Amino acid sequence: MGTTQEREDNRSEQTKFQPLFRSVAADTAGVSPGTPMYIGDREPTESEYSLIQYNEKAVTVITPRNVEELIAMFEPDMINWINVNGLASQTDYKWLCTFFNLDPLTVEDMLNTEHRPKIEDFGHYIVVITKMLTRHEYGAIEYEQVSIVCTKNTVITFQETPGDCFGPVRERLKAGTGRLRKLGSDYLVYALIDVIVDQYFMILEHQGAKLEEFEESSTQPREATHFMAGLQNMKTELNRMRRIVWPVRDSVNALLHSGSDLVSLELEPFLRDLYENTVQVLEAIESYRETVSGIQEVFFSSISTRMNEVMKVLTIISTIFIPLTFIAGVYGMNFVHMPELQMKWAYPAAWGLMVAIAGGLILYFKKKKWL
């Protein structure tokens, strides 16, 4: 693949392939198809590599320092799982993808982290683009694109940042339990996607617990503004998850019916189960979205009910004071000849009349059960 000097020369020309930070795909207008260009909502990190080589009898875990070392350690007689963390080193990407004869359009899609999940069969390899979800301790959900390339004896995973949910797969490879080390690279691809889908269930479990909290406080929220903001954020999150999981389901279905020589018949039952899991995730998301809409309706209904109670009290108070205001207005007029004003009992009589009217109205409202 070239000497160290050639490698340094390529690095000196890295400005030609330097990744460009983009927030919208529209910035690629006019760029030739297949041109590697990073598109995403975060700064790309420098690439880190790991290599796991295994067969039914042995497994080796290696951390290469660079692409040349990784390629030099490649073992065609074993299953090679290459994991790349970070999308900044485009020159390394070109070297690696050239070694495995990947189409330039594949490289372009992998560097576009805003890409819709999909699967493509190029004959000698299959590429799967999916999304991995991670929930942080403070509750936020992080979305990360994971691109998986599968050849006859190699699986390459490309991630945006270090850290993933593939730990259980690595542990199973090291332990040698189950089918993972007995079957081919296609089963490893299935195992990786299966772990990602399992992570969806974990995220939904947390969302379900939050929904229960919202349901309990929907009729009497302590802070209405904060309550509605949190509920709307959850609705937005569920809508985003739905947009992601829907094409993941289609990708799994396409992989199941691909007819590719790289997907063995032994894998079909597992892919069917994986497809059913993605359907369950979508059903759960739809159910949660309906629940959020229901909670919003209950919340607005409770707000409206409380408002009606307040308006009823204010209306009753206004109704009681209308005749009292009328009496006070009549005797507050500045006419000279008003006989009642000259009588000694006029003032207490006026008060007695107003109290009697107010009391009568209150009794009437109670009889009508308006109070």
Is residue 265 one of the residues assigned to a domain?
A: no
Q: Is residue 153 part of a domain?
A: yes
Task: State the Cα–Cα distance between residues 363 and 113, nearest whole angstrom.
Answer: 71
Alpha-carbon span 213 to 224, nearest angstrom:
14
CB of 34 within 8 A of CB of 104?
yes
Look at the block and give the residue holding tokens 């985003």.
240
Q: What is the C-alpha separation between 278 and 284, in angstroms, rounded?
A: 10
- Name the phi and psi angles at 156, rounded to 5: -115, 125
Same domain for 1 and 120? yes
Final residue before a domain boundary, out of 140, 171, 195: 195
CATH classification of the domain holding 333: 1.20.58.340
Consecutive H or E run containing 131: strand 126-135
pLDDT at 65: 82
What is the structure's pLDDT at 293? Answer: 86
Q: What is the pLDDT of residues 333-343, one digit of tens each?
A: 877 777 877 77
Is 85 within 8 Å of 162 (Cβ atoms)?
A: yes
pLDDT in tens, 89-125: 777 777 788 888 888 888 888 888 888 888 988 888 8
**210 pLDDT higher than 60:** yes
Which of 162, 178, 195 is the last residue before a domain boundary? 195
If asked whether residues 29 and 149 sit together in one domain, one would say: yes
Q: Is residue 160 part of a domain?
A: yes
Of 150 and 104, more confident: 150
Cα–Cα dist 153/135, whole Å = 33
Runs of H (alpha helix) within 122-267: 167-175, 185-216, 224-256
Q: How far is CA 147 from the centre of its chain?
A: 18
Q: Within this chain, do residues 48 and 181 fall inside the same structural domain, yes or no?
A: yes
In a domain, 291, yes or no: no
pTM of the model: 0.75
Count other C-beta atoms under 10 Å from residue 318's C-beta: 10
The lowest-confidence range among 231-235, 257-261, 262-266 is: 257-261
167: nearest Cα among 56, 259, 271, 52 = 52
8 pLDDT higher than 50:
no
Number of domains in the chain: 2
Other C-beta atoms closer than 10 Å to the C-beta of 81 total 24
Please state, in angstroms and rounded to a whole number, the distance separating the CA atoms of residues 114 and 240.
Answer: 13
CA atoms of 180 and 173, how far apart (whole Å): 7
Average pLDDT over residues 350-364: 86
Whether 326 is in a domain gets the answer yes
Half-sphere exposure at residue 274, Cβ-oriented, CA atoms within 13 angstroms: 26
Gap between the Cα atoms of 148 and 83, Å rounded: 9
Express as a percent the part of the chain with pLDDT over 90: 11
| Per-residue pLDDT at 371 exceeds 80 | no
Does the pLDDT of residue 193 top 90, yes or no? yes
Tokens representing 168 are: 């259980």
**Structural domain of 335:** 305-367
- Answer with the one of 177, 195, 213 that is the final residue of a domain: 195
The neighbouring-strand residues paired with 79 are 54
Would you say residue 292 lies in a domain?
Answer: no
Residue 279 covered by a domain: no
Q: Residue 167 maps to which CATH number?
A: 3.30.460.20
Mind listing the pLDDT tens digit for each residue in 287-304?
A: 988 888 888 888 888 778
Work out the average pLDDT over 168-173: 87
Which band of pLDDT confidence, cut at 50, 70 and 90, is reported for residue 31? low
Report the C-alpha gap between 72 and 80 in whole angstroms.
12
Phi, psi dihedral angles at 128 (to 5 degrees): -120, 125
What torsion, rounded to 10 degrees, do the Cα atoms 111, 116, 120, 122 define? Answer: -20
Does 264 reside within a domain?
no
56, 338, 342 from 362: Cα distances, Å: 88, 30, 31
Tens of pLDDT, residue by residue over 303-332, are: 787 788 888 888 888 888 888 888 888 888
Strands 79-85 and 48-54: antiparallel
Residues 324, 187 share a domain: no
* Percentages (nearest 5) of helix, strand, coil residues in the chain: 55, 15, 30
CA dist., res. 144 & res. 85, Å (int): 11
Q: 10 Å Cβ neighbour count for 181? A: 20
pLDDT at 1 over 50: no
Q: What is the structure's pLDDT at 24?
A: 42
Q: Are strands 118-121 and 141-150 parallel, antiparallel or unpaired?
A: unpaired
Q: What is the dihedral of CA 155, 161, 162, 168, to 10 degrees?
A: -50
